[in-house]
Amino acid sequence: MAIRRRFKASYYNLRVASGATTLLFNGITGGLLRLTKGMERDLAPLLGSERARKAGTGYADWDPPRFTRQDLPAGIARRFDEFIDSGIFVPDVCDEREDLRRSYIANRSNAPFFVTITTTLDCNMRCYYCYQKEGELESMSPDMCDAIAAWTKAKIEKENHSRLYVDWYGGEPMLNQAVIDRYSDAMISFCGERHIAYKASMICNGTAWPPDPVKFVERNRLHSIQFSLDGPRQHHDKRRGLIDAKGGAGRTASFDTVMSTIDALIGRTKIYLRINVDPWIGRDCLDVIDACAARGWLDPDTRFYPYVAIINAMTEHCGFIAKAKRFEEFNEEFHGIQQEFYERLRRYRDEKSFEVVQYYPNRVMINCSAVSNNAVVFGPNGRMYKCGLDVGDQHRAHAALNLDGSMGPEPDAKARMLPPDRWDRYDPFTHARCKECQYLPVCMGGCPKAQIDRDEAQIRMQSEFWEKNFDRIIREYFAAAGGH
């Protein structure tokens, strides 16, 4: 006698109302189904209780009905394989959270080789919210650059990596272009000879580029670049003026410089524009969208992705932001601004384009390279970190690369370096709220540093993003795909 398999609804299903239509989303697969009225009626008894949008509660109490195929209405039975493939239903013995945990551990081990290089801690701006301490102006030497290249080659050969991802970081990385050219030349040649995929990216402020930005991008294989603005010109130039070479008080406007750099590169590489928002910029950030549209950056095939981001306390050095009441009050306002931002973006972007919004809630395989087993961040002096936000805070380094290629702290190092296993121990499945959360597959706890540092305010903000924006994102993607 054949054994009848029993099934249950996935804990990570979420139903979203979109006008007269109900959309059914699954966080494990990213599947999104449009339900007819009849299908919605037939599915309702099988899906379990309707999920609240509150993050961080529910898994321990999840007990949906169990059923076999033979129990299903005819219409649901005909499409049951589709529901299985979409993750809507799973075997009743399935522990979805445990499966997620095992997959997450495996992905940390199998992640690509990712090397972040901080060319300098110096910057030609002095933003009030900068997380670097003033006075830390160290730049990477050619010799240290060569040592890092030699270390990278040895690592590739020892561990047989098939891909190398390089991220250029600072300070302002373009203040030390010689290091970028030097390392890129060495590694592109090395990878090409061994048929290893090479891809690079950069985070920069857009003001220190050479006369021919396109040639720089091409020879250094920059696949993507993130630029940033502090809102429109009237805010940006007031806050982010370029300092003179001696770091004096005199500053020159930088907004037009950033815009000109992007103009030169638009369509030649993938560009992310981070538009910083705080209580003083507020809704004025929306004007940046119109400025981008006027320059043709929102036309098809530009590979240009603007988004808004709230200014917050990234490290202890700018921790005053987290303590300021005005910033705390602004967090709620920002959610509304974010929604308005994407609504305005839709005026210029093709309705059928999935670029209408910045993020579709796909499953996160690994939430940050910092928790990967195959990633490292180099400071200008060869100190090795897991997180870019730790660079310069030398006691957070876990090792150091010396000029002679040896490993370990320099003999005169006074900083007590923290062990790297604090990142290895990071586990969102042990966090009291994250392990219960219906958004866990698409978030994985958000920023690992926030959890490691026990920054509950930052963790709460990450939860609130999904609570307040999930339904809107799903509706907009459905509309962008031609849904009604």
- 71 and 176 housed in the same domain: no
pLDDT single digits (tens) 157-215: 999 999 999 999 999 999 999 999 999 999 999 999 999 999 999 999 999 999 999 99
Q: Yes or no: say if 114 and 372 are a contact pair by the CB < 8 Å rule.
A: yes
What is the per-residue pLDDT for 327? Answer: 67
Is 280 among the domain residues? yes
Neighbouring CB atoms inside 10 A of 214's CB total 12
Residue that terminates a domain, selected from 291, 326, 356: 356
Q: Is the pLDDT of residue 250 over 70?
A: no
- 51 and 154 housed in the same domain: no
Q: Is the dihedral of CA 354, 355, 359, 365 positive or negative?
A: positive
- 29 and 137 housed in the same domain: no
Q: Is the pLDDT of residue 47 over 80?
A: yes
What is residue 137's DSSP assignment? -
Is 427 among the domain residues? no
Kind and range of the H or E run holding 269:
none
CA distances from 122 to 107, 173, 390 (A): 34, 8, 15
- 111 and 84 housed in the same domain: no
Mean pLDDT calculated for residue range 245-252: 59
CATH number, domain containing residue 191: 3.20.20.70
Pick the residue with more confidence: 313 or 167? Answer: 167
- 90 and 109 housed in the same domain: no
Q: What angle do CA 383, 386, 391 make, to 5 degrees?
A: 50
- Please count the structural domains in the chain: 2
Is 21 among the domain residues? yes
Pick the residue with more confidence: 358 or 178? Answer: 178
- 142 and 78 housed in the same domain: no
CB environment 333-363: b (16+ within 10 A), e (fewer) = ebbebbeebbebbbeebeeeeebbbbeebeb
- 218 and 277 housed in the same domain: yes
Is 327 among the domain residues? yes
Range in 105-109, 186-190, 202-206, 463-467 with the lowest mean pLDDT: 463-467
What is the per-residue pLDDT for 129? Answer: 75
- 297 and 318 housed in the same domain: yes
Q: Note the helical H segments in 111-221.
A: 142-159, 177-193, 213-219
Comparing C-alpha atoms, which of 334, 339, 325, 342 is closest to residue 281? 334
Q: Where in the sequence is the domain holding 259, given as residue range(s)?
A: 105-356
Q: Is the pLDDT of residue 421 over 50?
A: yes
- 134 and 84 housed in the same domain: no
What is the per-residue pLDDT for 282? Answer: 92
